[in-house]
Amino acid sequence: MTSYTIGQAARLLGVSPDTARRWADAGRMATHRDESGRRLIDGRDLAAFSVELARSGTGEEDAPSYTSVRNAFPGIVTAIKLGDVAAQVEIQAGPHRLVSLLTREAVEELGLQVGMEATARVKSTNVHIDRT
């Protein structure tokens, strides 16, 4: 399973590393330490927290704003629904929840999993997913 450092989690949540540290210290985000003592957050835990955070609207007020239709939204995969041919992938990118409909084959080729870092690229009404 993918794990993230506090800094990586902060970037994916659209907040400062200090804010992410405070949330971890307060027990809002579950962390564990690796063999070198770094605090890590399990990808599935971070995905769940990012959805909770977006719903509650308690992120940093000075988080970057995404306004161009040709933006890249780095985030974390929070849900994948696979059908026989099609798939739906949800990404939480800071306060933004993006949903992309693509083929099941594309999801499998990218190796997408809940808790994994990915980037949603938006152009007009299309959302493309890049594994990062």
* Res 61: pLDDT: 46
Q: Which two tokens stand for residue 114?
A: 């809940």
- pTM of the predicted protein model: 0.59
Q: Are 45 and 77 in contact (CB under 8 A)?
A: no
Chain CA centroid to CA 65, Å: 16
Tell me the HSE value of 106 on the side-chain side, using a 13 A CA sphere: 15
Q: Quick one: pLDDT at residue 58?
A: 57
Rounded Cα gap, residues 65 and 14, in angstroms: 9
From CA 66, how far away is CA 68, in angstroms rounded? 6
Q: CA 7 to CA 52: how far, in whole Å? A: 19
Task: Report pLDDT for 65.
Answer: 46
Q: Cα–Cα distance between 3 and 39 in angstroms, integer?
A: 10
**Rounded CA separation 103/86 (Å):** 4
In this prediction, residue 67 carries a pLDDT of 43
Q: What is the mean pLDDT of each run of 10 residues along the chain (132 residues)?
A: 91 88 92 93 93 73 48 90 96 92 93 93 76 80
